[in-house]
Amino acid sequence: MSSVATIKRNVIPPHLEVKGGCPLSGILKVSGAKNSSLVLMAAALLTKEKLLLENVPQLTDIEVMSEILSNLGAKLTKTNNSIEIHSEFIHNAELPYQLVHSLRASFFCVGPLLTRLGKAKIPLPGGCNIGARPVDEHINGLKALGAEVEVKDDVVKAQVSSKNKRLHGANITLKYPSVGATETIVMASCLALGKTTISNAAREPEIQDLAKMLNSMGAKVFGAGTKKITIIGVESLRGTSHCVIPDRIEAGTFLIAAAITRSPLTIGPVIPNHLGAVISKLQECGCSISHHGNHHLKIIPRDISGVEITTSPFPGFPTDLQAPFMSLMATAKGSSKIKESVFEKRMQHVLELNKMGACIYLENNTAHIKGVKELLGSNVKGGDLRSSAAIILACLSAKGTSIFTGLEHLDRGYEKFEEKLTNAGSIISRKFEKITPQNSFTSNTISEDNINTQKNAA
């Protein structure tokens, strides 16, 4: 069945209309990091004093996390990009399924709740549908710290039964450097009795941001950003104010937006070290990237050629930018190969990119990409957060107009995405009206019947 026929029959939800082929220019502003903000918000539960977080992006994931904290009894005050959290009177140790199912980061509350209330009951978390995403490493870590944990009917029940109601230090080795498990164990151990070590810890910048904030609250966390983190438990933590680091994934997405539209662009603020692997792949495929002042990067794309990428934990190439980079490679000269090694089900964008005329062949978790001269505007749908960004980048470079649905995914993780891109020169707008064949399709729109039949390999 063609996509045109599908759209004729259905009323589709809010969507983006993207006119492809417009060059970008100027400066694109990078927001605060979503993944840092979420864990820092949970860490606010560790203190009875007020915590002020600045540079928090306005996203639906942040709204859900705010609701979760309120549900536990915390008081939140929001002003633009700041959130003040006061957790003195948290009383509830149970998270309801309806708040947890869409947000994996909800599980971050388990450590602080165990520490503050001696118990926690949390349904297994949801989040992007990109693989099995177990929490066994979180649970093993909590058990090593002395918690009793039971998983029954998809609900995690944990408690501290020791007389003093405190977790205790332990030496923990992670089987895989999981970002979430490292964060859970750091939060659970900073008020535990004694010393904890985490070997094979994740080294992502968000963990360094968490440690920085915890230390300014009086915690003793050493070695964040290395493979071994040591935490010396303290008696209590105080309030603080903390400015969230820039979002390296949003920054990377904008760099790729510049490359795919072949437009020189400045982006910032960024911490360039957080983007090392991405910068070197962009350079390898033909972009010149230079520092612009202290906190900005300037990218000048030239001829883009295919490269090979394997995603891996930091400092390797981030899995969260695998999909956006694949859109770029779909338009590159020659062939490229992208292997996803972190999550097992993170290739949902391939079908949509092929709909746009890309030439991508998937072999398990490896995508073989033959670059095409141009992508064609189409009717496309995002299936998870990063694949949504990837597909919109493809729409920006495509010939003709595209209709993108899946905004519920995009809005989880990109603050004012289309507004920022519009300010930089894109023609992209959010529409709420019913799509009809008259207002959605141009002669450039392709149907599923001619997917992959383009003979325009670059």
Catalytic residues: 128
Site for ligand UD1 in 148-167 (CB under 6 A): none
Task: Among 3, 47, 87, 178, indicate the residue that binds ligand UD1 (CB under 6 A).
Answer: 178
- Buried residues in 236-262 as b, exposed as e (16+ CB within 10 A): ebebbebbbbbbbbbbbbbbbbbbbbb
Collect all residues with Cβ–Cβ distance below 8 Å to 185 and sequence separation of at least 6.
111, 138, 141, 142, 145, 172, 196, 198
By CB under 6 A, residue 261 contacts ligand UD1? no
Nearer to ligand UD1, 205 or 286 (CB): 205
Residue 258: name the closest of 302, 311, 321 by CA. 302
By CB under 6 A, residue 211 contacts ligand UD1? no
Task: Among 13, 88, 136, 439, indicate the residue that binds ligand UD1 (CB under 6 A).
Answer: 136
- Which among 131-139, 280-288, 298-306, 428-436 is the span making contact with ligand UD1, rule CB under 6 A? 131-139
By CB under 6 A, residue 244 contacts ligand UD1? no
Nearer to ligand UD1, 205 or 377 (CB): 205
By CB under 6 A, residue 138 contacts ligand UD1? yes
Site for ligand UD1 in 278-337 (CB under 6 A): 319-320
Q: How far apart (Å, rounded) are the C-alpha atoms in residues 136 and 119?
A: 18
Q: Which two tokens stand for residue 386?
A: 């990063």
Residue 307: name the closest of 266, 339, 353, 276 by CA. 339
Nearer to ligand UD1, 247 or 418 (CB): 247
- Which among 48-56, 132-140, 283-291, 301-309 is the span making contact with ligand UD1, rule CB under 6 A? 132-140
DSSP state, 187? H
Nearer to ligand UD1, 181 or 435 (CB): 181
DSSP state, 286? T
By CB under 6 A, residue 137 contacts ligand UD1? yes
By CB under 6 A, residue 227 contacts ligand UD1? no
By CB under 6 A, residue 340 contacts ligand UD1? no
- Which among 79-87, 126-134, 359-367, 416-424 is the span making contact with ligand UD1, rule CB under 6 A? 126-134
- Which among 11-19, 136-144, 250-258, 438-446 is the span making contact with ligand UD1, rule CB under 6 A? 136-144
On the 0-12 / 13-18 / 19+ scale of CB atoms within 10 A, 326 is buried
On the 0-12 / 13-18 / 19+ scale of CB atoms within 10 A, 442 is exposed
By CB under 6 A, residue 180 contacts ligand UD1? yes
Contact in structure between 104 and 178 (CB atoms under 8 Å): no
By CB under 6 A, residue 403 contacts ligand UD1? no
Residue 454 CB neighbours (<10 A): 17
- Which among 2-10, 21-29, 127-135, 401-409 is the span making contact with ligand UD1, rule CB under 6 A? 127-135
Site map for ligand UD1, 62-101, x if CB under 6 A? ----------------------------------------
**Sheet-wide strand order for 401-405:** 379-381, 401-405, 15-19, 427-431
By CB under 6 A, residue 24 contacts ligand UD1? no
By CB under 6 A, residue 23 contacts ligand UD1? no
By CB under 6 A, residue 176 contacts ligand UD1? yes
Contact in structure between 68 and 123 (CB atoms under 8 Å): no
Collect all residues with Cβ–Cβ distance below 8 Å to 183 and sequence separation of at least 6.
39, 108, 202, 206, 207, 210
Task: Among 68, 167, 181, 375, indicate the residue that binds ligand UD1 (CB under 6 A).
Answer: 181
Q: What is the 3-state secondary structure (H, E, C) of 68-104?
A: HHHHHCCEEEEECCEEEEECCCCCCCECCHHHHCCCH
Nearer to ligand UD1, 181 or 367 (CB): 181
Q: Which two tokens stand for residue 153?
A: 């009917």
Pairing mode of beta strands 308-310, 335-339 = parallel
Footprint of ligand UD1 (CB under 6 A)? 35, 38, 104-105, 131-138, 176, 178-181, 202, 206, 319-320, 342-343
